[in-house]
Amino acid sequence: METIGHWVRGRSVEGRSGRTGAVFDPAAGRQIATVDLASAAEVDDVVEVATDAAAGWAEASLTTRANVMFKFRELIDGHREQLAAAVTRQHGKVRSDALGEVARGLECVEFACGLPNLLKGSFSPQVSGGVDVHTMLEPVGTVAGITPFNFPVMVPLWMLSNALACGNAFVLKPSEKDPAPALLLARLAQQAGLPDGVFNVVQGDSEAVNALLSHPGVDAVSFVGSTPVARHVFETGTRHGKRVQALGGAKNHMVVLPDADVDVAADAAVSAGYGSAGERCMAISVVVAVGDVADRLVDAIGARIPEVVVGPGDDPASMMGPLITREHRERVRSYVQGAAGEGARVVVDGSDVDLGEGFYLGCSLLDGVRPGMRVYDDEIFGPVLGVVRVGSVDEAVALINANPYGNGVAIFTRDGGAARRFQRAVKVGMVGVNVPIPVPVASHSFGGWKDSIFGDSPIYGPEGIRFYTRPKVVTTRWPETAGRLDLGFPTGN
């Protein structure tokens, strides 16, 4: 059976800890590889390699770095199919969805190609007589990136594109559930001319994560994953003096007003609720039906569910693949099976699909969902859509604002005024107006509010440049006359 190891100083490295994890093909429901799980000592070695390489890369000219990023962009573009196939094999999502993930990751590389412009500092001449001030953006040093299973190409690219462009070294700790695509990215970066040691991959679980969080050689940590782990990463990393951005879980609402086109809204709810088997942090998991649209909407969503073809990700007919593990499938199934007991109406029960040993579930639709029910309160992270019925937009906003998560939200309406009031009132980081999955393009930044993020920095885009650089401000004077003693505090006169 294949063993998936680390990538250090530009080559594959076998693990030494003796600890391994199982990697599955979720479509077949069987183990296909083992992954090495790094010890703290192995993490030490990787961080040392990265820190040594960081100094040289920080000194590489902007032109050199931009050339590497452009070449990296070309190579990813030319390897879309290979990257997508690697994602489908270990994650299970269907090919079109995996290609979409690659495309959205590629956007971040393209943004980072503009690094000579992005890293321009600022200059203020003559702030005082004969005194100039300029600000330079310097790399932070060595960055650790810790990523979730659900986007094994895109989320690493959210981080490493800007981190590398800014002149940092990067240590990626991918999810142990689908660790292979990270190695493909590392090879492509090497082919693009990135010096060995600047981008390393350390495979592992919480032991490797905790070693990175306390390692004195790690200057900044980017994390994407579930809320409890995001909170732990933020608290531990900052306690060890690091700059940390930690993006967590979600419960995304889609509000449908009575004037909305019900067919448009139902298509969006099904696509955004069940795409990638609901395993997206921006998946719609709650439809908030306002007023008399509810019955029409529930009927329209229910009528579409039989059209969703569930099957292996590499079958072109499949629209929705399996879940990531058997345990996760059982957890999601338990929510559907417990929903009626909590007082919800099970409109469609997708908890039983007969597709062999793969970790499959069908689409489930629950009506009459309310706060206080587990199906509302928890992030289920599976193909389960709950409908909450409310009487007004104000009630919808109050529901959303009382939810501890604040990642994404969407409103479906034909009323521009209502949409404008909604986007201003709602306490959520990313808002879609007739757009169910409002993942910002790479020239903007991605980040939720409340328990969907810890730390003050959204990820990628302009915020990514800010996070991966430190400003240094230089005040300069070239005196032309002899000085004189002045013990007063310098002022701008």
Q: Which stretch binds ligand NAD (CB under 6 A): 63-71, 245-253, 269-277, 369-377?
A: 245-253
Point out the residue whose Cβ comes nearest to ligand NAD.
225
> Which of positions 250-309 make contact with ligand NAD (CB under 6 A)?
250, 281
Assign residue 419 a region (left: φ > 0; alpha: ψ between -120 and 50; beta: otherwise): alpha
* Cα–Cα distance list, 228 to 223, 231, 267 (Å): 12, 5, 32
Chain-centre distance for alpha carbon 381: 14
Enzyme catalytic residues: 281
Q: Which residue from 39, 88, 142, 147 is in contact with ligand NAD, where contact means CB under 6 A?
A: 147
Q: Which two tokens stand for residue 96?
A: 């079109």
Decide: is 226 part of the binding site for ligand NAD (CB under 6 A): yes
Cβ proximity to ligand NAD: between 250 and 388 the closer is: 250
Residue 249 touches ligand NAD, criterion: CB under 6 A: yes
Closest alpha carbon to 381 in 247, 309, 285: 285
CB of 420 to ligand NAD, least distance (A): 26
Among 149, 274, 360, 412, interactor with ligand NAD by CB under 6 A:
149
**What distances in angstroms separate CA 167 from CA 44, 164, 375, one per listed residue?**
21, 5, 44
Smallest distance, ligand NAD to C-beta of residue 132, A? 41
Tell me the C-alpha to C-alpha distance, in Å, between residue 429 and each of 360, 383, 437.
31, 23, 12
| Beta partners for residue 412, in sequence order | 256
The residue within the footprint of ligand NAD, chosen from 23, 27, 229, 319 (CB under 6 A), is 229
Is residue 214 involved in binding ligand NAD (CB under 6 A)? no
Subset of 392-411 contacting ligand NAD (CB under 6 A):
407
Residue number, 210 or 271, with CB nearest to ligand NAD = 210
Is 6 a binding residue for ligand NAD by CB under 6 A? The answer is no
- Under the binding rule (CB under 6 A), the answer on residue 441 touching ligand NAD is no
Q: Is 63 in the site for ligand NAD (CB under 6 A)?
A: no
The answer to whether 457 contacts ligand NAD (rule: CB under 6 A) is no
If one asks whether residue 366 binds ligand NAD (CB under 6 A), the answer comes out as: no
Q: Does 42 sit near ligand NAD (CB under 6 A)?
A: no
- Nearer Cβ to ligand NAD, position 24 or 151? 151
Number of residues binding to ligand NAD, judged by CB under 6 A: 29
Question: What per-residue string of b and e applies to 54-80 under the rule 16 or more CB within 10 Å gives b?
Answer: beebbebeeeebbebbbbbbebbeebe
Interacting positions 167-196 with ligand NAD (CB under 6 A) = 173, 175-176
Q: What is the three-state SS of 25-87?
A: ECCCCEEEEEEECCCHHHHHHHHHHHHHHHHHHHHCCHHHHHHHHHHHHHHHHHCHHHHHHHH
Tell me: does residue 67 bind ligand NAD (CB under 6 A): no
Q: Summarize as ranges the residues that interact with ligand NAD (CB under 6 A).
A: 146-151, 155, 173, 175-176, 205-206, 209-210, 224-226, 229, 232, 247-250, 281, 379, 381, 407, 448, 452
